[in-house]
Amino acid sequence: MTSPPKRTAAAADVAALKAMILGRDARVGIIGLGYVGLPLVQAFCRKGFRVVGFDVDSDKVRRLLEGQSYIHHLPASLFDGPIACGHFRPTTDYALLAEVEAIVICVPTPLTRHREPDMSYIVATAEAIAPHLKRGHLVSLESTTYPGTTREILQPILERSGLAAGVDFFIAFSPEREDPGNPKYQTTTIPKVVGADDAAALELATALYGAVVDQVVPVSSAATAEAVKLTENIFRSVNIALVNELKVIYQAMGVDVWEVIDAAKSKPFGFMPFYPGPGLGGHCIPIDPFYLTWKAREFDIQTRFIELAGEINTSMPLHVIRQLADALDRRFCKGLNQARILVVGIAYKKNVDDMRESPALRIIDLLRERGAEIAYYDPFVPEITRTREHPHLTGLRSLPWSADLAAAHDATLIVTDHDNIDYQALVAGSRLVVDTRNATAGITDGRDKVVKA
């Protein structure tokens, strides 16, 4: 017996949805109003699309409706106008998905304690969409994940609706590439990779993103697009691990790794500068490589290089603690027990208020375990909010800035190098400065008090 011909989407349905997208008549639903979803809301609204923003956190929705923003680099003024004129509607009501034509999923994909992918947010979101899925819907997943997630997890749940992917609705993957705090690149100026498993879905997803970003890069499948994002972040993780290891080696030799990198990058080919630090942070680089490690085990493949990079980067907070302890001992014959330490910078990177996976939180825990008394200063993080791994730090508040901020402490530990900190005053007011980011590179007065870690 011959199998029945494979069903495909009606050309008229594809053409109709594409025409709505190109005419800015398609309504866009964005699920997850965080560091990825909110910039997308802004991008679509600016191009004339009507957007419904969905989030399970009613407090986020309330704050947006009241003219407040909970992300530092995205002021509330960006959303006041679209909300007032009805172009942006934040809500917790997933039934409103039936009113949109395109759905973009921007939910977290963390790791479990055993470094395995936590797909619960994607699964819960797909289950929330399925009852409201309608013929002609375009669904795009942006959450970073392992190759195969779109086809193996998202698609089957959506098809419980009775609709078939590639026939009744369209599904694609387009990895987020946000870089919070980067003034050079915005959502609309970062090329957008798009992958799908059928031609119609790829055509529609390319049209959707092409309506708001400067360049779309189509690839042959959803799995390929999923692999693109992992490759980008594994590349960064491995190279950061390399310079972190070089830092430790060169410190033992009395060589400044920062000076080495600055000189090496003068070579116009064959070298790309990466910089060491106190450990990896954010929701991408510390997590994403292990999605591929986990998936590779399904094919009986060991990812030794990736795992080694992870081990090196994970060890950096301990290295910082050792450097700080050694500096205290050499300068003051004092250990960490009962030492008063001022931690400067809680965010995982400079000029943002994002604490996700920040090495500062791990460093504070390690210092407390050694008996140190900890205070912190961060102009972007006035209070530590609840995190999965460090809930006991919830509510700890930043000290207010003053020129003598560090005077009451035995050492100042710079973990995040925000640009709006007066490092000259910080060094002048400190007894000892341990700098993990080379933030004090341009400081000459009081240089003898600075130790790089």
CB atoms within 10 A of CB 77: 9
CB atoms within 10 A of CB 4: 6
Number of residues that make up the chain: 453
Catalytic-residue membership of 333: no
Q: Which residues contact 432 (CB under 8 A, 6 or more apart)?
A: 327, 328, 331, 332, 410, 411, 412, 449, 451
Residues 85, 106, 284, 333: which is the catalytic one?
284
Name the burial class of residue 189, with classes exposed (0-12), middle (13-18) and buried (19+) by CB atoms within 10 angstroms of its CB. Answer: exposed
CB atoms within 10 A of CB 243: 19
Q: Tell me the longest C-alpha to C-alpha distance in the chain.
A: 86
Q: Which residues contact 416 (CB under 8 A, 6 or more apart)?
A: 344, 345, 346, 347, 348, 349, 350, 358, 360, 378, 437
Coil, helix or strand at residue 22:
helix
How, if at all, do strands 88-91 and 411-414 pair?
Answer: unpaired
Beta bridge partners of 342: 375, 412
Q: Which two tokens stand for residue 55?
A: 């989030």
Name the DSSP class of 370.
T
Active site residues: 284
